[in-house]
Chain A
Amino acid sequence: MVQSDFSYNSKIEGEVIVTRADAVVNWVRSHSVWPMPMGLACCAIELMAAGGSRFDISRFGMEVMRFSPRQADCMIVSGTVTYKMAEVVRRIYDQMAEPKWVVAMGACASTGGMYRSYATLQGVDNIVPVDIYISGCPPRPEALLDGMMLLQEKIRNEGGSLKRTFRGRTVETKIVS
């Protein structure tokens, strides 16, 4: 391996890295996202596929699917959210500890999808703030992984606050590191 002059050289600078606490905390968070699989419809099948060996979501440190909201920090809403289920989604979201993120996976979770009807919530961002939207019906696991990498990017670049979409506008939440 060629040692570049510009890279970190432990012989000169010692076994110490100087950085900002925010950067370290964000780096740690972005590589250990514990998803809460809010599997409501066929998108959940693709979510499961993303957890399998072919797509292997554990490459990004996200394989620890937690079915308890207390232990999870990223809710992946994968599927159609009905008005009857909306209450449950919101309650589970409220039970997750900050910092927490929400990924709207697929057309239904993002906008109601093809369900233009009396029973279906027209987008999960009407009841919880959403960080990432993933298009597709259902999205392939690659699309989910792409969305999760975007989420990692977002986590890495956040400086004390999170910008999310809630009820058609951007809301900002302060984060205490």
Chain B
Amino acid sequence: MDAAALTLKFPRTQSLKSIDMPTFAVANDELTEIVRYLRDTQGFDLLADLCGVDWPYRSPRFGVVLHLLSTTNKEYVRLHAACDNDAVPSVTSVHPGANWHEREAYDMFGIKFTGHPDPRRILMWESYPYHPLRKEFPLAGIEVPLPAADVAAVTGQNVEPAPMMGGPFVSHGGHMSSAEPQALDQSWNEEKPKA
């Protein structure tokens, strides 16, 4: 990893502190070019991961993190690109494997990837109105109609918020007590019966 060459070629790139691998904050509009440069001249030929990040108190709020692997030099590099107006350039033109990663980041965070060849959702259905991994979205979910209108009509079933009692189980941090891990919702439990 030649960090000096990277920052010389792309002066807006900043090195970030990291405990495991070289990490850079890159300019939003340079992302595709940097990934192409790293692939072609520094040997980072494999896109190991691409994911969205939600920082609720930062501006811009959303970002994208890429992990690139060099299969020849056996090293990783991490790139962090902040969104510009909830959008980042797509890197599918450099790494076609980014296609589904970017669709997932769009699905879960609502990050738009400009230049993506197939910008659909990948996990939730197309008409789903929310982006579930955003910090303000409750884990239990929000009530919306089922995707198929005829099935919703015949069953009377909606997408309903899941009951939090009975799981998922969390530990509340600090040192471990002798108690079992607790469910997130404590409105009813072994001591208090269900209302």
Partner of B146, one of A86, A114, A120: A86
Query: Which residue of chain A has the shortest Cβ distance to B141 in the bound complex?
Result: A118
Residues of A within 8 A of B147 (CB): 83-84, 87
Query: Does A70 make an interface contact (CB < 8 A)?
Result: no
- At the interface with chain A, which of B50-58, B73-81, B157-165? B157-165
Q: How far is the CB of A69 from chain B (nearest CB, A)?
A: 15
Query: Does A91 make an interface contact (CB < 8 A)?
Result: yes
Q: How far is the CB of B68 from chain A (nearest CB, A)?
A: 30
Residues of A within 8 A of B168 (CB): 114, 116-117
Q: Is A116 a contact partner of B151 (Cβ separation < 8 A)?
A: no
Query: Does A126 make an interface contact (CB < 8 A)?
Result: yes
Query: Does A174 make an interface contact (CB < 8 A)?
Result: no
Query: Does A112 make an interface contact (CB < 8 A)?
Result: yes
Give the complex CA separation of A128 and B156 in angstroms.
11
- At the interface with chain A, which of B38-46, B59-67, B97-105, B132-140? B132-140
Give the complex CA separation of A83 and B130 in angstroms.
14
Residues of A within 8 A of B132 (CB): 118-119
Give the complex CA separation of A118 and B108 in angstroms.
12
Residues of B within 8 A of A117 (CB): 139-141, 162, 168
Query: Does B117 make an interface contact (CB < 8 A)?
Result: no
Residues of B within 8 A of A121 (CB): 157
Partner of B163, one of A114, A116, A127, A128: A116
Query: Does B142 make an interface contact (CB < 8 A)?
Result: yes
Q: How far is the CB of A73 from chain B (nearest CB, A)?
A: 20
Query: Does A163 make an interface contact (CB < 8 A)?
Result: no
Query: Does B124 make an interface contact (CB < 8 A)?
Result: yes
Given A116-B139, A118-B137, A87 and B166 contact (CB-CB distance below 8 Å): no
Give the complex CA separation of A155 and B137 in angstroms.
45
Bitwise, A98-135 to B at CB < 8 A (1) or not (0) is: 00000000000000101111111110001110000000
Q: Is A116 a contact partner of B146 (Cβ separation < 8 A)?
A: no
Q: Is A120 a contact partner of B151 (Cβ separation < 8 A)?
A: no
Partner of B167, one of A83, A116, A127: A116
Q: Which residues does A use to contact B, with CB under 8 Å?
A: 83-84, 86-87, 90-91, 112, 114-122, 126-128, 167
> 5 tightest CB-CB pairs across the interface, nearest first?
A118-B141, A87-B148, A116-B162, A127-B155, A90-B151
Sampled A-B contacts (12; CB under 8 Å): A83-B147, A83-B159, A86-B151, A87-B147, A87-B148, A116-B139, A118-B137, A118-B161, A119-B124, A122-B160, A127-B155, A167-B155
